[in-house]
Structure 1
């Protein structure tokens, strides 16, 4: 997994240029990525998602697509937020700016995402079954519904960060 600081605090996931996707572990084998004979691949569907976030059906569940730009991404469980590294001189600088970014963020519309449990974040061009062998990040979410919202923030002049916040809903 990519690391931007040595030794680095977080594991970061990158893509080859397309969107990242968070797929529930239970349906990983159903995500075919770009490596199929189909004319409209799962990767193509992910690339068609407009905006910062969107949901795509996968098996009997849904995957969360992180659209807009293929920024390196990690998860901060204390903020229930995926952090997308757009610009910062170091990992420490980026992480120090997260509280201010969360406070100033202008959030977009929320989507409701129901997950059966943990999800795996990886490059949407990859097949879900390949995740043990490719760069990925397991996010230990509790089963149930989540409100998901996204924003980009500039908490410092040279620090730009994308945020995808997951808020657990009752029921």
Structure 2
């Protein structure tokens, strides 16, 4: 796996070239990754989701697919946001640009995602039961409904990132 991010302030997750997926822990056993025996594996379904975000049924819940392009991704709980590193010279520069980027982002229409609690973010090709080792990030979400919105921003010359914000709904 090629590292596009550097170790530092936050934990980054990367894929082997396909989408990342955030699957609720309660339905991890149902995510088959690329190992599915059906005509289309869960990984195939994730690849077909299209766009920056998509929702796929998994068990009695749904997984959030981060599509568009493979990118190192970190969760910033203080902003309720997944940050996808598309281009930039340093982690510090990229992370410092997030607050202003959140204020000026051209947000796409939002989707609503109901989660039963914490989710794991990992490479969509991995089966859920094998996702708890290295290469994942746990998002400590409270059970409930979330508005999910995405945007791509250029907060500075040479810096590009994608944002996926998860806002709790009443």
The reply to whether TM is greater than 0.5 is yes
Asked if the contact 1:3/1:12 (under 8 Å) is kept, the reply is: no
Cα distance in 1, alignment partners of residues 130 and 45 from structure 2: 19
Structure 1 unaligned blocks of 5 or more: none
Asked if the contact 2:5/2:85 (under 8 Å) is kept, the reply is: no
Aligned to 2:99: 99
Structure 2 unaligned blocks of 5 or more: none
Q: How many residues align?
A: 169
Normalization by structure 2: what TM-score?
0.96
Asked if the contact 2:83/2:164 (under 8 Å) is kept, the reply is: yes
Deviation at 1:3, TM superposition (A): 8.5
Q: Which digits, 9 at most, give the CA deviation of each residue in 1:87-120, with x for residues without a partner?
A: 1111101001111211221000100000000000
Asked if the contact 2:4/2:72 (under 8 Å) is kept, the reply is: no
Structure 1 ranges of 4+ moved more than 4 A: none
Aligned to 2:136: 136
Aligned to 2:90: 90
Aligned to 1:77: 77
Aligned to 2:11: 11
